[in-house]
Homo-oligomer: A and B are copies of this chain.
Amino acid sequence: MKYRVVLVEPKYEGNVGSVARVMKNFGFTDLILINPPKLGEFSLAMSAHAVDILDKCKIFRSFEEAVSTSNLIVGATGISGKSNDEHVRMPLYNPSELKEKLCGWVGVISLVFGREDVGLSNEELKKCDMIVKIPTNDEYPVMNLSHAAAVILYELGDFPGGKMQLAKHDDLDRLYVHWGSVLERVGYPDHKRAKTLLMLRRILGRAILTGREVQTLRGVLRKIERRINK
């Protein structure tokens, strides 16, 4: 799946630069601008290390030209389902639903973001195949353009999550057995031992231990045993 980010008549060059930056953060490269403002120093500053994306962005005069070579056009709207406008008869997907819907397909997708003040026009929304809406507080649903892009590109970006080197279950089991023998060794009351072991198992289970953490905990238990045996 190839994504393009299309900004329709952005007013502020800073936002264009910010969108370029977050595109690069999440591995997107193709930026398309429709009637943008002049891109000067401030857009470069806001793009930080994503100047390359600004450099090779494409500029068009109309919505039709900008999206003409896409397979699918996804429009972003800040308007909730309360309005009676035509376009909201389409289901509004939230970003994670959008990701699910797009999963497994091959093609070019244009992600279209509207103007800072009035968003996409109804005519533009009607040209979209799908509409994505970030779930927000009704009290203040209007997001900054680059924030909206950040959230949607975060969902669609496909980078592995935090490096969680989880402990193997065998090692966890050995840790619990070890705790059991330590409790026995320190004279923990027989009738409480099973319940306390269960609580330890639950606490450590909830913590989702890494392999290194299990080894460190077992080292602590060994130290305790050695001290007792002295």
Interface flags for A92-113 (1: CB within 8 Å of B; 0: not) read 1111110001000000000000
Residue A151, interface by CB 8 Å: yes
Q: List, in ascending order, chain B residues with CB within 8 A of A80's CB.
A: 163
* A22:B147 contact, CB within 8 angstroms: yes
Residue A150, interface by CB 8 Å: yes
Give A50 to B136 CA distance when docked, in angstroms.
14
Instruction: Report which of B132, B141, B162 forms a contact with A94, defined as CB distance below 8 A.
Output: B162
Residue A142, interface by CB 8 Å: yes
Interface flags for A109-124 (1: CB within 8 Å of B; 0: not) read 0000000000000000
Q: List, in ascending order, chain B residues with CB within 8 A of A164's CB.
A: 91-93, 97
* B144:A48 contact, CB within 8 angstroms: yes
* A157:B135 contact, CB within 8 angstroms: yes
Give chain B nearest CB distance to A163 CB in angstroms.
3
CB closest residue in chain B, given A150? B147
Greatest chain B CB density within 10 A among A22, A81, A132 is at A22
Give A147 to B23 CA distance when docked, in angstroms.
11
Q: How many chain copies does the complex carry?
A: 2
Instruction: Report which of B18, B142, B166 forms a contact with A49, defined as CB distance below 8 A.
Output: B142
Give chain B nearest CB distance to A98 CB in angstroms.
9
Residue A65, interface by CB 8 Å: no
Q: List, in ascending order, chain B residues with CB within 8 A of A137's CB.
A: 24-27, 157, 159
Residue A204, interface by CB 8 Å: no
Give A164 to B80 CA distance when docked, in angstroms.
11
Q: List, in ascending order, chain B residues with CB within 8 A of A22's CB.
A: 143-144, 147
Give chain B nearest CB distance to A169 CB in angstroms.
16
Instruction: Report which of B97, B150, B213 forms a contact with A162, defined as CB distance below 8 A.
Output: B97
CB closest residue in chain B, given A82? B163
24 contacts between A and B (CB under 8 A): A21-B143, A21-B144, A22-B143, A25-B136, A25-B141, A25-B142, A26-B136, A27-B139, A80-B163, A89-B212, A89-B213, A91-B162, A91-B163, A91-B164, A91-B165, A91-B166, A93-B161, A93-B164, A94-B161, A97-B162, A97-B164, A131-B162, A135-B159, A137-B159
